[in-house]
Amino acid sequence: MRLLNRKLEFPSTYVIIFAVTLIAAAATWFIPGGEYVTGDDGVTFVRQESVPQTWQIMTSLYEGFTAQAGIIVFLLIIGGAFWIVNSAKAVDAGIHSFLAFTSRLERFRVLRAVGVNNIVLVLIMLMFSIFGAVFGMSEETIAFTVLIVPLAISMGYDSIVGVCMVYVAAHVGFAGAVLNPFTVGVAQNLSGLPMFSGFEYRLVCWAVLNLAMIIFVLHYAHRIHRAPKRSVMYEADAKWREKTADASSKPEVLRTRSSWVAFAISSAAAVLFSVFYAGDCEISIGNGSYRAAWLLPAASFCYIVLAFFALRRNVRYFILTMLLFTVLFLIIGALGYSWYIEEIAALFLALGILSGIAAGYNANRIAREFLEGAKDIFSAALVVGLAAGIIHILENGRVIDTILYSMASGLGEGSKIGSLSAMYGIQTGINLFMPSATAKAALTMPIMAPFSDLIGLSRQATVLAFQFGDGFTNMITPVSGVLIAVLGIAGIPYAKWVRWIWKFILLLIVLGFLLLIPTVLLPLNGF
C-alpha cells in the first residue's frame, strides 16, 4: 500500500531521451531497410537489408557526442565565458540600467496603459522572429539565451518566457520564413522555382504566426507576473532569481588598471579585423547580395568610442559593452562572413578572457571561473549528445528513408487539400526525428515536388507545407541539439517544457493547415 500511495515521479530528460533511443533501436528490428538513391532518373527508393540495432544503443552516446561535437564545445565555451562575465557582475549592471530605463518610461500615460513590459516583450520577440525569417537564426539563439532569460526573470517573469523571447520567436520566424535560405531557398531551388518567389503570401503567413505567438506568450507572461508561483518553473528558477537579486540595486563602481589592457587588446583586434577583412563583407538577404565594406569599420569605431567612455565610468559597464558588441559582431559575422559555430565560439572565448582581464583576475582565476561555467553547463551538453544518438540509431538501422517512403506512398488518395495536408503531416512527422532543414529538403523535395505536379498541386504550396512542417516541431523534438542546449542553459527540464509548449505547438500546426488552404483555393501570386 505504501508503494501505491507513493507520488509518481515524472521521468527526467535523460530518462526520456534514453527511452526514445530504445524505441528507435526496437524500430530497426521490424521496419524494413531502404534508402533513396539519386540517379539519372531522379530520386528513387531502393530496398536495403535492414541492420537491427542492439549493443549500438550503448555506443550511441559516443556517436552522438561525435556528431554534435561542434554544439557541445560551443556550449562549454559559452558557459565558461558567461560565468566570467557574470562573476564580474556586468550583466547585473546591464539589468539595473535597463530596469531604471523602463521605470522612467512608466511616466508616460500611453506607455503605462499599454504596459512597458508588454512593449519590451513584443519588440524582442519580433526582432528574433525577423532574424529567423531572414537568415534562419537557430544555433545563435544559444548565446542569446544566457542574456535574455535573466532579463525575463528580473522583469518578474520566468525562464519559459525568456526562452520564448529568443528561441520560440526565432523558430516561429523560421517556420514562417520569407527569405530564409536554409528552408525556403533550398526547397524552392530543389523544386525548380524562382528563389524566394511567393514572397507576398509568405509575409502574410509570417504575420499571422507571429500574432498568435505574441498573444499566447503575453497571456502567459501576464498570468505569471500576477502570480509567480503558478509557473511550473517557479522552484527551479530560484537560481536565476538569486543571480539577479542584486540587479535591482545600483552596481558598485569597479576600476582596475588591467581593464585598460583589455581595452587596448580588444580595440587593436577590432582595428586589425577592419583593415584586413572589411572588404570581404557581403550581406546576403533573400536573393540579393550587398557589399558592405563600411559595416565592420563602422561597428569597430562605435565599439572603441563607447568602450572608452564606459571604461571611464565603470569596468562593469565596459565588460557589458564588450558583451553587447560581441553580439553585434556575431550578427555581422553570420550575415556578412557566413560565420558558424566555430567562429562564434572563438568570439565568446575571447570575450570571457578579456572580461577576466578587465575585472582584474589573474590567469589562474580566469581558468577557474571558466571551468566553473563549463561544469555548470555540462549537463546540457550531455543531453545534446544523448539526443544525437537517436539519429545515429535510425541512420545505422537504415529505417529513416523507409519511414519517409511509407508516408509518401499514401499521398494522392483524396482531394487537393487532403493531399496537401498529408504532405504537411509527413513533413511535420519527419521533423520530429530529422530537424535539419537542409537535409530534409534535400531528401523530401525531389520526391514531393514532382508528385505535386501529378495531383495538380502548386509546387509553391508544397514548399510552404515543407516550411511549416520543418519549423513548428523544432520547438518540441528531443533530437534537436539547439532546443536541448537552450533548455539546458535556461535550466528547464525537457518534460516540463513539453507540458507547457504542446498547446502552442498544436495551435501552430492548426494555423499552418488553415494557411495552406488558400494556396489551393485562391490565385495567389507565385502559387
pLDDT, tens only, 45-95: 788 888 888 888 888 878 888 887 887 888 788 888 888 987 888 877 776
Residues 241 and 285 in one domain: no
Mean pLDDT, all residues of the chain: 83
Query: In the structure grid, which three cell numbers stand for residue 71, read together?
Result: 554544439
Question: Using CA atoms, how far apart are residues 356 and 120, in angstroms rounded to an integer?
Answer: 31
Q: Domain check: are 309 and 238 in the same one? A: no
The reply to whether 1 falls in a domain is no
Q: Is residue 115 part of a domain?
A: yes
Least confident window among 188-192, 214-218, 220-224: 188-192
Q: Among 199, 203, 137, 135, which Cα is nearest to 169's? A: 137
* Residue-level pLDDT at 262: 95
Give the lowest-confidence range in 55-69, 206-220, 435-449: 435-449
Q: Rounded CA gap, 491 and 466, in Å?
A: 31
Instruction: Say yes or no: 203 and 288 in one domain.
Output: no
Residue 465 maps to a domain: yes
Q: Which of 332, 327, 270 has the alpha carbon at shortest distance from 304?
A: 270
240 plus 125 within the same structural domain = yes
Structural domain harbouring 278 = 258-358
The answer to the question of residue 306 being in a domain is yes
Range in 25-29, 37-41, 60-64, 520-524 with the lowest mean pLDDT? 37-41
Domain termination residue (choose one: 358, 384, 411): 358
Residue 462 lies in a domain: yes
Query: Is residue 389 a part of any domain in this protein?
Result: no
State whether 316 and 341 are in the same domain.
Answer: yes
Higher pLDDT, 250 or 87: 87
SS3 193: coil
For residues 103 and 227, state if they share a domain: yes
Question: How many domains, the chain?
Answer: 2
- In eight-state DSSP terms, residue 236 is T
pLDDT of residue 410: 59
Residues 204 and 223 in one domain: yes
Position 181 scores a pLDDT of 65
**Is 380 within a domain?**
no
Residue 469 · residue 431 · CB < 8 Å: yes
Distance CA 470, CA 447 (A): 16
Looking at residue 1, what is its pLDDT?
A: 45
Nearest one of 467, 490, 477, 474 to 390, comparing CA atoms:
477
423 vs 189 pLDDT, higher one: 423
In this structure, the answer to whether residues 281 and 427 fall within a common structural domain is: no
Query: In terms of domains, do 97 and 245 share one?
Result: yes
CB burial string 127-143: b at 16+ within 10 A, e below: ebbbbbbbbbbbbbbbb
Q: Is residue 43 part of a domain?
A: no
Instruction: Quick: pLDDT tens for 455-464.
Output: 778 888 888 9
The residues near 112 (Cβ < 8 Å, ≥ 6 apart) are 106
Cβ-contact 164, 215 below 8 angstroms: no
How far apart, in whole angstroms, are the C-alpha atoms of residue 449 and residue 429?
Answer: 18
Q: Which residues, including other chains, have CB under 8 Å from residue 70's CB and lie 6 or more apart?
A: 340, 341, 342
Residues 207 and 309 in one domain: no
Number of neighbouring beta carbons within 10 Å of residue 224: 21
Answer for the pair 159, 221: CB distance below 8 angstroms, yes or no: no
Asked whether 21 and 34 are in contact (CB, 8 A), the reply is: no
Map grid coordinates 493547415 to a residue: 513
Q: What percent of the chain has pLDDT over 90?
A: 26
**Tens digits of per-residue pLDDT, 278-330?**
888 887 655 567 788 899 999 999 999 999 999 998 898 899 899 889 878 88
Judgement on whether residues 98 and 217 belong to the same structural domain of the protein = yes
